[in-house]
Amino acid sequence: MSKNVTIIGGGVIGLAWTRKFLEKGWNVHLNDSQDISAFIEKEFNGKVKFFHDLAESVKDADYVQECGPERLPIKQDIFKILAQHAPTHAIFASSSSSIVSSEIAENNPAADRILIGHPFNPANIMPLVEVVPNPKTSKDTVNTAMQIYSELGYEPALIQKEIAGFVANRLQIAFLNECYYLVEQGIIDAADLDKLVLNSLGLRWSTVGPFEGEHLGGGAQGISHLLSGVGSNMNFQLGTPDPTKAHILIEQTEKAYGVGEENWKKRSEKRDQLTEEILKLRKQTK
Ligand SMILES: NC(=O)c1ccc[n+]([C@@H]2O[C@H](COP(=O)([O-])OP(=O)(O)OC[C@H]3O[C@@H](n4cnc5c(N)ncnc54)[C@H](O)[C@@H]3O)[C@@H](O)[C@H]2O)c1
């Protein structure tokens, strides 16, 4: 028998999850605080049932994937309603990009069934879902969430201890901060920095992860050689971006890549197509 999922929030991420769950034969209910029923009806050919009322939308849910705004009080309120109105076996996952689920589950009687299931944008193409339990999340909840995301075709990564921003966004922010700093300081301009990354770190990390990259970079002796050689001299101070200089980043980026919906569509389609080609190649060369 097919299972029931409720997606809360029909924005960028909620729509991507909706597509994935539908593809795999789940019954999908979608709740949003805005009335987007006509759009949902058209977008999914009547296959997704829209609910304006949150409590009603989770009455028969086996799994809930919350994709509302990234605001703690809103998420806390939503999860309280889930605990009151969803079946007692239902699991509640938040797509949050940075908020830990122990905060979302504060004073929530269903804390053992709450966890983070954080996808990476574009969430219908990127294989990652970070599964981040909180100290009260039960093992069964974690195992079921891992299994569901795998069955949907994702490659879920279990994050062992919760930490704000989890892993992918902490890495992303650390790297982006240095990119912002270098451009603000006039050391390189935005388009040249992009080209530099595409021709080095981007290419390397789309084939091997940072640790395997280090291990291979050390030659036959591996990471121990690298860390005691080249690595031991990489001890310069990194920069901190200045928010008052953000206009420099915006001006250079808009000049290099253009603006507007048509432009966005064209460029994001090209990005998605390339991403899918890389994933295909990776599968073939395993
Ligand atoms: N966009 C990304 O790159 C990205 C990636 C991974 C995770 N996330 C996370 O996913 C979540 C959703 O992000 P998004 O980018 O899809 O946001 P979005 O703004 O595109 O969509 C949010 C949706 O939630 C609806 N909403 C607002 N309040 C609500 C409520 N109380 N109940 C039900 N629906 C409500 C809005 O009407 C809107 O349709 C956030 O927690 C975000 O951190 C976003």
Identify the residue whose C-alpha is closest to ligand 1 atom 12.
Answer: 67
Spell out the domains of the chain, with CATH numbers in brackets. Answer: 4-158 (3.40.50.720), 167-207+243-286 (1.10.1040.10), 209-241 (no CATH)
The one catalytic residue among 130, 184, 262, 276? 130
For residue 38, report the distance from its CA to the centre of ligand 1, in Å. 19
Q: What residues are in contact with ligand 1 under a 6 Å CB criterion?
A: 8-14, 31-34, 67-70, 74, 78, 95-97, 118-119, 121
- The packing angle between helices 190-198 and 246-257, to 10°, is 70
130 among known catalytic residues: yes
The total of other beta-carbon atoms located within 10 Å of residue 162's CB is 18
Looking at the CA of residue 14, tell me the nearest atom of ligand 1: 16
Strands in 9-59 per DSSP E: 27-31, 48-51
d(CA 24, CA 153): 9
* Assigned token pair, 192: 């040249």
**pLDDT per residue rounded down to tens, the chain (286 residues):** 679 999 999 999 999 999 999 999 999 999 999 999 999 999 999 999 999 999 999 999 999 999 999 999 999 999 999 999 999 999 999 999 999 999 999 999 999 999 999 999 999 899 999 999 999 999 999 999 999 999 999 999 999 999 999 999 999 999 999 999 999 999 999 999 999 999 999 999 999 999 999 999 999 999 999 988 877 788 899 999 999 999 999 999 999 999 999 999 999 999 999 999 999 999 999 7
